[in-house]
Structure 1
Amino acid sequence: MKILAFAGSNSEVSINKKLVTFAASFFPDDNVEILDLNDFEMPIYKHERELENGIPQLAKDFASKIDGSDLILMSLAEHNSVYSAAFKNVFDWVSRIKDRKHFGDKPIFLMATAPGNGGGKNVIEVFLKRAPFSGANVIAYFSLPNFKERFEEGQGITDEEKKAEFHEKLAAVKAHFS
């Protein structure tokens, strides 16, 4: 199975990238590609820019990565209760590619984490509302609040309750392909 994994963040020290990389580690027998949104940095979407220059090749490349995958692992950063500007911009440009749904009807394991108690729940809620219109087939979603207290590099999720919930959601994702 071909798995595409990325964090909806352009932070060099993204906790969402740490979470999505951790999730990807549970697919050792699959072909997993972890993307960095910094490799898809484009001018901020503007209609006039699209008319003048067309759709950037990086947006087409990102869409091609989606199209070549069987499963998407995505952990969204929450900035002011919604997507990060970096993710939103890639999302906006991909949406302009003719005759495609943003996420190509691919199954998605949606995640979010944050340093505070909310754990990215707002961005998950925003994405879940948008998902049906964007060709995003969210199989399961998971939120990890208080990242610094509940996650250790090399160990992963350390909070037993959240670890059990994560594994339950992961099992649902894997069962989707059985």
Structure 2
Amino acid sequence: MSFERTFKPEETSYVAQDTMVQILPRFRCDRVPFLADEFGPFMPNVPVLVPCWLALALNENGKCTVELGDWFAAESVLATQKNEKTDTKGFQPLPQYFIEQARCISKYVTEDMSMHVHLEHILSLRQSKIRRAFRLLRHDTMRETIEEGYRLPSETACSEFNSIRRFTCAAMDNFNELLASKVS
């Protein structure tokens, strides 16, 4: 059994665009049916939840303002960055698709380039924590690590899981081969 399938960044970005975000419409319209669901009604300056893809399309046409979540506010991003630095073992709680959302939304919505830098730094800090966790598993402390019940934090984002999937799947394939050879 092989566990090789991983998602490309474009695929996770596509899935992330189904995440609901709040917008402030600049137009009036009844509920609008789409293939999967209906959205609206839309009234000027009355918040409404829509998928990210619809928010971006409306924003691009000047039909709405995208209300970025609390996690995307400058103060929150800076606090998250600071906490990621100080907490060496856990992850700060962020949306499952925070990486894809941040890249997609900030590309079209925010002009603050410093926000991109802070978000990339958070991503870098989290990736280094994942690499450190795998180094622990590779060294001779593996027995103690397993006995302590090491696990990835529950706040691990989708793209972070995706980035380690290839390694862990290959490791599981090797483990299964070893088990099969011991049984034979």
TM-score range, shorter chain: under 0.3
Q: Which one has the bigger helix percentage?
A: 2
Greater relative contact order (Cα < 8 A, sep 6+):
2
TM-score by length of 2: 0.26
Bigger CA radius of gyration: 2
TM-score by length of 1: 0.26
